[in-house]
A and B are shown apart, each in its own frame.
Chain A
Amino acid sequence: MARKRRGIDAPEGELEMTPMIDVVFQLLIYFIVTIKPVDVVTNLDVFRPAPNPNQPPDTKPPNLLRLGVYQDGYTLNDNPVSLDAMDSALARIARIDAGQTIMITVSAFSEHGALVRALDLCAKNGLRSLSVVSASN
Chain B
Amino acid sequence: MKKKYADAKLDMTPMIDVVFQLIIFFITTVDMESKALETKVRMAMSPNGPVEETKDPRTVIVDVDKDGNIQIQQTTLSEGQLLAVLKKAVVASGQSTPVVIRGDYQAKHEQIKRVMDIAGRAGLWKLRFAALKEKA
Interface residues of A (CB under 8 A from B): 12-15, 20, 23, 27, 31, 36-52, 69, 106-113, 115-117, 119-121, 123-124, 132, 134
| Contact among A14, A27, A109, A123 with B110 in the assembled complex (CB-CB below 8 Å) | A109
Tell me, in angstroms, the Cα distance from A27 to B19 when the chains sit together.
13
Mark contacts of B97-136 with chain A using CB atoms, 8 A cut-off: 1 yes-contact digit, 0 otherwise: 0001001111111111100110110000111111111111
Q: Is the CB of A112 within 8 A of B136?
A: no
| In the complex, chain A residues whose CB is within 8 Å of the CB of B51 | 42
Decide if B43 is an interface residue (CB 8 Å cutoff): yes
Number of residues from B at the complex interface, CB < 8 A: 52
Q: Total contacts A to B, CB within 8 angstroms?
A: 150
For chain A, what secondary structure do more than half of its interface residues adopt (helix, strand, loop), or is it mixed?
mixed
Chain A minimum-CB-distance residue to B23:
A27
Q: Which of B24, B45, B108, B116 contacts A109 (CB 8 A)?
A: B108
CB <8 Å contact, A116 and B127: no
Nearest B residue (CB) for A20? B16
Q: Is the CB of B109 within 8 A of A43?
A: no
Residues from chain A with Cβ under 8 Å of B136 in the complex:
36-40
Contact between chains at A12 and B108 (CB < 8 Å): no
Judge whether A31 and B129 touch: CB under 8 Å: no
Minimum distance in angstroms from A34 CB to a CB of chain B: 10
Whether B120 lies near A48 (C-beta < 8 A) is yes
Q: Within the complex, which residue of B20, B104, B111, B116 is in contact with A48, where a contact is CB–CB below 8 Å?
A: B116
